[in-house]
Structure 1
Amino acid sequence: MNWLTNFVRPKIRALVSRGTEIPDNLWVKCDKCGTMIFHRELEASLHVCAQCGNHMRIDTGKRLALMLDDGFTKLDMPKPIVDPLKFRDKERYTDRLKRSHAKTTEPDAITSAAGTIGGVPAVVSVLDFSFMGGSMGIGVGDGFVAAAREAVERKAAFIAVTSSGGARMQEGILSLMQMPRTTIAVQMVKEAGLPYIVLLTDPTTGGVSASFAMLGDVQIAEPGAYIAFAGARVIESTVREKLPEGFQRAEYLLEHGMLDAVVPRSELRGTLAKILRLLMRTSPLPALESSAPAA
């Protein structure tokens, strides 16, 4: 028995390697400029790249905490109908749903919460792109309608945050029926004299952009958000023309009157608070005390 090989060397290796394992999620690569960002810096910057300003996608929990004041309450969503068409393509629809449930822990692609923004009552519904691309099926339609009713009952503003690839193909015509359903829900909020505001994030496309995403009393987008109905290549092949630079990006849509504002994530809650106070006719925001030292 070689004492050095079999005993001493393993002990030394154990001492050297102890505590040197590095989690694989400490650094995040910006998908726009390629910069590696330390996870704590990314959290502090609200998942916005400091180098290029890329607004990365965030989950629904972070989104709700970013927009609503402390103490908000998540709303119970209606239980979605599972696989109404018994659909299968490369795999079963039910298997896709199980994978998305495990990834997001949510029953479907929509999550809603009630609380306040700058002290003004609000109900916020957020689409999660990580749940089957934020696609809109019966579950999303039911959740959106339920949140709109909650806003009316609470006499609160209703805010939709969109991030979606459009209608959910695995539910066929039933997914397309959610377009008029969500449109009627928006009308219900407006008839109650309550504001409906939309925050469009990257990406917002298809049946979502063709329904409730474009019906806001105020339309806001995050910088650089991709907003469209059909993809650029589809449009170019149809009209047989080269599309302008930046076409279907938030800044282009703002310039051409499709949006009211493009707001950085760090300014979002303050901007929403001002808009809601104007639309809800509440008292103005208190004057902020200057942090500068007295002269």
Structure 2
Amino acid sequence: MSWLTDYVRPRIRGLLHRDVPDNLWTNCGSCSQMILTKELHRNMNVCPHCGHHMRALVADRFAWTFDEGSWTQAEVPKVPADPLGFRDQKKYTDRLKDARSRSRLDEALAVAHGKISGQPAVVAIMAFEFMAGTMGTALGEAFIAAARLARLQRAPLVVFTASGGARMQEGMLSLMQMPRTTVAVEMLKEEGLPYIVILTDPTTGGVSASFAMLGDVQIAEPKALIGFAGPRVIQDTVRETLPEGFQRSEYLLEHGMLDMVVERKDLRETLGRIIGLLNGVRTEGQPDGPVPDAAPPSQAA
């Protein structure tokens, strides 16, 4: 070996080597463009090239939804960690520990209360980063706690959905959360409190078949996948080619299943305007003119 190989080459490699963080760049899943992660976060996880709305963490959604410094995260009830003693390739309790370690969340639904455009609101956000946002008994209890908090504060409940469906490790107990969360929604409606749902990508399975589609106002982010079963499963079942854009936000809006599709940067303003209209409160930027009287809670639809 020559001195060039033994001495010069290692020195040059050492001079050229720089520690580059693994998360410095993010690849857009739609247009495949590389985006600086910091720039992407400043843009609310929306691709600046094609407008693709990427998934977002719970903490970020809270910060983007509430007025700055106005919100407080709420405690939710604890439930038995493994009611069925389930095990597949690994124990369910171990899966929960891994999910909590990676996401820094206790469960797949987080609840907070604060103000949106100066108006009180309770917000519940599903965490896709926690076991794909699957619905189990803990999520059901958290949703019911959010509804009770909204009733206690006489405030609207805003729910962001993102889920792969029911949590198989809890079997029938997971499926029972569908009627339980539906009853919680009815409790809000009996009190005349607004229930607003923002569907994000993806919202599927038992979540889409229960509380996700029961909002007084149904909003979705652009091109979000929304449905019960996946399009490939449906196509294989009916043996027909599905329409273009099937189960996407824009398709559902066109067919009357949504009230609006709103870009992430406009969500806070849109929510503030909707809550103000439902409460009979004029919000900033609302056109001049009389504000419709809000019906008393006992008379609201």
| Mapped contact 1:101–1:131 kept (Cα < 8 A) | yes
Q: CA–CA distance in 2 between the matches of 1:132 and 1:221? A: 22
* SS state at 1:161 partner: strand
| Mapped contact 2:28–2:47 kept (Cα < 8 A) | yes
**Residue by residue, what CA displacement relative to the aligned partner does 1:115-164 show, whole Å, maximum 9, x if unpaired?**
01101111000111111110000000000000110011011110110000
- Show the 5 A alignment for 1:1-295: 16-17=15-16, 20-71=18-69, 72-285=71-284
Query: TM-score under structure 1 normalisation?
Result: 0.91
Query: Stretches of 4+ moved more than 4 A in 1?
Result: 2-14
* SS state at 2:201 partner: strand
* SS state at 1:86 partner: coil
Q: CA–CA distance in 1 between the matches of 2:230 and 2:178? A: 19
Paired AA for residue 94 in structure 1: T
How far does residue 53 in structure 1 lie from its aligned partner after superposition? 1.2
> How big is the alpha-carbon RMSD for the aligned residues of Structure 1 and Structure 2?
2.0
Q: CA–CA distance in 1 between the matches of 2:124 and 2:238? A: 35
Provide structure 2 residue ranges, at least 5 long, that are not aligned to the other structure. 288-301
Q: CA–CA distance in 1 between the matches of 2:12 and 2:161? A: 54
Paired AA for residue 65 in structure 1: A
Provide structure 1 residue ranges, at least 5 long, that are not aligned to the other structure. 289-295
Q: CA–CA distance in 2 between the matches of 1:141 and 1:214? A: 16
Range with bigger deviation, 134-143 or 226-235 = 226-235
| Mapped contact 1:47–1:57 kept (Cα < 8 A) | yes
Change (3 A) 1:247 1:5: closer
Q: CA–CA distance in 1 between the matches of 2:273 and 2:101? A: 37
* SS state at 1:198 partner: strand
How far does residue 5 in structure 1 lie from its aligned partner after superposition? 9.4
Range with bigger deviation, 95-104 or 278-287 = 278-287
How far does residue 12 in structure 1 lie from its aligned partner after superposition? 7.0
Paired AA for residue 36 in structure 2: F
Q: CA–CA distance in 1 between the matches of 2:172 and 2:228? A: 18
**Matched pairs, number:** 285
**Residue by residue, what CA displacement relative to the aligned partner does 1:251-292 show, whole Å, maximum 9, x if unpaired?**
00000000000000011101111000001112332579xxxx
**Residue by residue, what CA displacement relative to the aligned partner does 1:57-109 show, whole Å, maximum 9, x if unpaired?**
01000011111112200011112320100111122111111110011111110
Paired AA for residue 189 in structure 1: L
How far does residue 17 in structure 1 lie from its aligned partner after superposition? 4.9
Q: CA–CA distance in 2 between the matches of 1:254 and 1:59? A: 25
Change (3 A) 1:271 1:9: same
| Mapped contact 1:219–1:260 kept (Cα < 8 A) | yes
Identity score, percent: 57
Q: CA–CA distance in 2 between the matches of 1:254 and 1:86? A: 42
How far does residue 9 in structure 1 lie from its aligned partner after superposition? 8.2
**Residue by residue, what CA displacement relative to the aligned partner does 1:153-208 show, whole Å, maximum 9, x if unpaired?**
01111011000011111000000110011001111111111100000000000000
| Mapped contact 2:117–2:283 kept (Cα < 8 A) | no
